[in-house]
């Protein structure tokens, strides 16, 4: 059983919309179906570092932290991940210091299945060697479906943001996405995990602001697109597709570009 399936199964313990034994039984049955599904797994190639743009230029260093979204689970090419699409949009943009950004050095220390409590290890890894200029954190979904208290999850996230800011790294956080758009989960369980995700996202916004980071509410800004367009999800109907990651990248772009001091190159 995949880690995603196990986490979705735990969400069935919440009976927010199950006021009767029959309602609880329905949630339990849907959790069994969700657990039996096959979910996308991380592609080995997506963990590698890459540089977008001219190799001989001093690069803008962009690092991704978090869960499967930071790795791009659901797609086969680095260019289709959130980080890859952000790197492409930033490469060739105009730097506030004068002249173009000729290269973006992209790396990821994210781990599929991570919760906010796992960020401390990822922060330590990304601060080894050359410090990143901008860190993008995508986390929260696994906190929601494993029933982590939103305040606890947000506290771990806030601590990670604060540590990065103290190291001189600009930080942009994409909150827990709209789990209610995941077609791999049947209603009414889908509505339950969507509710849990929104609680986590609200706590994340407060924690990130308090820690000095920038935050983008992915559920609010991109949830309607995911709900309306099934092509934003990969074949497992849970993780985003290349189109879905593109939607996220464009939602994150203004905050990431501002943090990097770059006017991005738009197609």
116 carries an active-site annotation = no
| Cβ-contact 126, 135 below 8 angstroms | yes
| Cβ-contact 215, 173 below 8 angstroms | yes
Identity of the highest mean pLDDT range in 134-138, 183-187, 262-266: 134-138
**pLDDT confidence band for 54 (50 / 70 / 90):** confident
Q: What is the pLDDT of residues 20-33, one digit of tens each?
A: 334 444 334 333 33
**Angstrom distance (rounded) from CA 66 to CA 173:** 10
User: What number is the average pLDDT over the span 4-25?
Assistant: 47
258 carries an active-site annotation = no
Establish how many alpha carbons lie within 13 A of residue 121's alpha carbon, considering only the half-sphere containing its beta carbon. 10
Share of the chain above pLDDT 70, in %: 80
243 carries an active-site annotation = no
Catalytic residue (choose from 117, 143, 236, 255)? 236
**pLDDT confidence band for 34 (50 / 70 / 90):** very low
pLDDT at res. 28: 40
Catalytic residue (choose from 114, 118, 143, 239)? 239
């Amino acid at each position: 059983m995949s880690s995603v399936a196990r986490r979705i199964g735990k969400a069935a313990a919440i009976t927010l919309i199950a006021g009767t034994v029959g309602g609880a039984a329905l949630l339990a049955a849907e959790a069994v179906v969700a657990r039996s599904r096959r979910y996308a797994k991380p592609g080995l190639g997506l963990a590698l570092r890459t540089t977008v743009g001219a190799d001989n230029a001093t690069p803008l260093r962009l690092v991704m932290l978090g869960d499967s979204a930071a790795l791009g689970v659901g797609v086969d090419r680095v260019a289709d991940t959130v980080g890859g699409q952000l790197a492409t949009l930033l490469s060739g943009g105009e730097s506030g210091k004068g002249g173009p950004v000729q290269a973006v050095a992209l790396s990821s220390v994210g781990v599929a299945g991570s919760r906010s409590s796992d960020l401390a290890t990822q922060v330590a890894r990304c601060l080894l060697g050359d410090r990143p200029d901008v860190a993008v954190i995508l986390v929260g979904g696994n906190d929601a479906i494993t029933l982590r208290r939103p305040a606890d999850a947000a506290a771990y996230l806030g601590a990670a943001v604060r540590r990065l800011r103290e190291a001189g790294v600009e930080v942009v956080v994409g909150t827990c996405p709209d789990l209610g758009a995941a077609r791999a989960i049947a209603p009414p369980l889908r509505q339950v995990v969507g509710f849990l995700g929104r609680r986590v996202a609200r706590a994340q916004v407060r924690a990130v602001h308090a820690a000095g980071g920038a935050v983008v509410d992915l559920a609010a800004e991109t949830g309607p697109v995911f709900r309306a367009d099934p092509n934003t999800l990969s074949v497992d109907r849970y993780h985003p597709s290349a189109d879905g990651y593109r939607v996220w990248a464009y939602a994150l772009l203004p905050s990431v570009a501002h943090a990097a001091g770059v006017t991005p190159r738009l197609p």
